[in-house]
Amino acid sequence: MKRTARLLLVLGLATATTVSAFQGFRGEPYPTDVDYDGRFTFLRLRWKVGSLRSGSMTSAWNHDYPRAEQHLAQILKEVTLLDARTDGARVLHLDDPELFRYPIAYMWEPGFWTMTDVEAVRFREYLQKGGFAIFDDFDTVHWTNYETQMRRILPEAQFVELDESSPVFDSFFRMETIYFPSPGMSIRPTYYGIYEDNDPTKRLMVIANYNADVAEYWEWSAEGFLPVDTSNEAYKLGVNYMMYGMTH
């Protein structure tokens, strides 16, 4: 209990630090091609928009960039022993050979995601070789496209609904709840996972934050638009994801 209280205090202080620090970074370059040096580097997946494009949207993979990863990286560096880079990140296509250097990959808006056959093969290899993929920021109308793309990568995959007992939600922080709503929505989120060999006793390869937008809380935590307590839970979830991916 004391350790948990101390960690939460550090998280609160780190969040406060982030609020003041990143206000000064707004508008400054945040490179997405930092050289690999062995340190933890946040990786965002880039892809082409498919037939589900709506309105004037010409891309969706870049939502919340760059403040979401900036803020989460700062929190990781403050509250864990992970040597997280805060001077930049990586943005890669699914078939980029560099992808295999990074154990965790994060994708936004998979409801609009399309890929080539080569990308599907390479991403399957990435997951089977130990990669951990996180999908965020999509809802009911987007599930069909997300599942269709995942079937191209892992045709045999079984989507398993996860609850608080899953180790991915308890890899560093003991969370108050994993069911905080997506910003601006009252929908209860659902978390779906894909396990290696479809065996829940093995490694979790994929997690999908369905009816959720966890990274939105990271992006706007410095602005005061969203509840502090919920933003902290979103940060704790992000930290848990990264720590799970680095240790499994």
**Of 35, 56, 34, 32, residue with least CA distance to 46:** 32
Q: What percent of the chain has pLDDT over 90?
A: 75
Q: What tokens were used for 67?
A: 């403040």
237: confidence class by pLDDT, cuts 50, 70, 90:
very high
Distance of CA 244 to the CA centre of its chain: 12
How does the average pLDDT of the chain come out, rounded?
A: 87
- Measure the CA–CA gap between 105 and 107, rounded to whole angstroms: 7
Report the pLDDT value the prediction gives residue 27, as an integer from 0 to 100.
56
Residues 39-68 have pLDDT tens digits of 999 999 998 775 444 444 457 899 898 999
3-state SS of 53-101 is CCCCCCCCCCCCCCHHHHHHHHHHHHHCCCCECCCCCEEEECCCHHHHH
Report the pLDDT value the prediction gives residue 57, as an integer from 0 to 100.
44
Report the pLDDT value the prediction gives residue 54, as an integer from 0 to 100.
44
112: confidence class by pLDDT, cuts 50, 70, 90:
very high
Instruction: Report the pLDDT averaged over residues 221-231.
Output: 91
Which of the residue ranges 83-87, 114-118, 182-186, 204-208 would you say has the lowest mean pLDDT? 182-186
Q: Pairing state of beta strands 204-210 and 190-195?
A: antiparallel
**Of 68, 26, 18, 22, residue with least CA distance to 43:** 68
CATH classification at residue 220: 3.40.50.12140
Tokens 């191209």 belong to which residue?
152
Q: Give the CA-trace dihedral at 204, 206, 209, 213, to 10 degrees.
A: 120
Q: Which helix (H) or strand (E) holds 188?
A: none
**Of 133, 130, 135, residue with least CA distance to 202:** 130
Residues 187-204 have pLDDT tens digits of 999 999 999 999 999 999
- For residue 63, give its domain range: 2-247
pLDDT: is 81 or 12 the higher one? Answer: 81
pLDDT: is 176 or 18 the higher one? Answer: 176
Q: What tokens were used for 102?
A: 């990074």
Report the pLDDT value the prediction gives residue 224, as an integer from 0 to 100.
86
Instruction: Report the pLDDT averaged over residues 128-150.
Output: 96
Report the pLDDT value the prediction gives residue 228, as an integer from 0 to 100.
94
Count of domains forming the chain: 1
